Chain A
Amino acid sequence: MKKTVVISALAAALACVGVAGPAWADPVDEQLVIDGETMITRAKAPEGHPFDEVLSGWLFRTVETRALETDSFTNPGMLEVEEGEAIWNKVEGSAGKSCASCHGDAAESMKGIGAHYPKWDAEAKRPINIELQINKCREQNMGAEPYDFDKGGQKQLTAYIKRQALGEPVSIDLSQGDLQSWWEKGKDLYYTRTGQLNLSCASCHEANMGKMIRADHLSQGQINGFPTYRLKNAGLVSVHNRFRGCIRDTRASFPKAFSDELMALEVYVTWRGSGLSVETPAVRQ
């Protein structure tokens, strides 16, 4: 409990330092080592990728923000990962089961798993991500209600599962089912200009990667660190929430979480980060 207080005070203090930080231009040339394990923050891009090298968003953050991610004890997102662990072990629903009842120790059963989603859900005939997989287990195996978007522990449990893939390079298998056509659809969306400001994802994260947009250093918009801990929100932020935020910033209406649009975007953006280590929960400003 005491640890909790100290860490959040530290995070708040660092958040202030971050806001007043100087402008800087290039992604840093540094190694991210988390709890002694070296992460892959630069990887050769897969074929057909617009960049030669894919870069983790970590490389674009301030010294202070970067430091928070290097150690489980300083990473403020780890408190929510611990909450996720408690949910993993908690019995819920009419079947009287927890996640652990079927999957046992997540450190073993979920090791590396989070790096390879979205996958193809043959039953639903659409891509499935960790959040939807959790909901599927809750409904089909636990007799529990599915979580509403971002509610009830969805972010915490997702982060806990993804944390079990820490360091594992992201790779998805586009040959599963119809995943390739969802990739295509996601790509279309990535390059579609939206809203009154008439900007696409690529306008910011491809054409202007590395540039400053007011106080923000534009990264490649990778999702290998999601759910991320945002100092600004003092909490975890899910992938679909981030997508929606970026779309809203163009002054466009944004699709529902887990809609076909955002699932397609998740498939495509995950692929754009192929080879980067899972860093969940990454720390961002």
Chain B
Amino acid sequence: MRWAKLLATMAVASAFAGASCGISVAADVAPGDVQFTDDGVAVSLTGVAGNPEEGASVFKDRKLGNCLACHANSAMSKELFHGDVGPALDGVADRWDVAQLRAIVTDSKKGLSEDTVMPGFYSLNVGAHLDEKFAGKTILSAQQVEDVVAYLATLKE
């Protein structure tokens, strides 16, 4: 069942693949099309492997992930000010696999729980009175989510 979904998603992705330059570039899965299952989000949002170093910078950048606002992370002890609204992310990859981490970061309301305060970073399910500057936009791009997920996957104890 899961495989069927996965294959279907891949087929959709390749249908959108750019053909002009000869290299097959998969289009990003649109925020509304991300497939959540009980096991998380199994398929990459971009088809391009995440870069953990990029992910680390997205993670700490106050204008991007700003994950430290809510999470402590010992691996970034040089950064000032780690929040504690959410749990510390030390060893988070021992607790969750990549598909689950992708689900949590993509849309925590689906990946964690409906009433979590954690924002959905690749979701258009937003609150009321959205500032029009952000209309139709996600907090992170699909690739930034993949990068952050790749970074989270390095956090093992």
Binding site for B on A (CB under 8 A): 23, 25, 192-200, 203-204, 207-208, 211-215, 218, 247-248, 250-254
A211 touches B127 (CB 8 A): no
Chain B residue contacts of A203, Cβ below 8 A: 117
Chain B residue contacts of A212, Cβ below 8 A: 81-85
A16 to chain B, nearest CB (A): 14
How many residues on B have C-beta within 8 angstroms of the other chain's C-beta atoms? 27
Q: How far is the CA of A197 from the CA of B63 in the complex (A)?
A: 12
Interface status of B66 (Cβ within 8 A of chain A): yes
A252 touches B127 (CB 8 A): yes
A254 to chain B, nearest CB (A): 8
A196 touches B131 (CB 8 A): yes
B123 to chain A, nearest CB (A): 9
Q: Which 8 A-B pairs have the closest CB atoms?
A: A193-B127, A215-B81, A198-B127, A194-B127, A214-B69, A252-B129, A203-B117, A196-B134
Chain B residue contacts of A214, Cβ below 8 A: 62, 66, 68-70, 81-83
- 12 A–B contacts, CB within 8 A, in A order: A23-B82, A23-B84, A194-B130, A195-B134, A196-B130, A197-B127, A198-B125, A198-B126, A207-B117, A247-B129, A251-B134, A253-B129
Chain B residue contacts of A23, Cβ below 8 A: 81-82, 84
B84 touches A252 (CB 8 A): no
Q: How far is the CA of A213 from the CA of B130 in the complex (A)?
A: 22
B86 to chain A, nearest CB (A): 9
Q: How far is the CA of A200 from the CA of B119 in the complex (A)?
A: 12
A194 touches B128 (CB 8 A): yes
A251 touches B117 (CB 8 A): no
Q: How far is the CA of A197 from the CA of B64 in the complex (A)?
A: 12
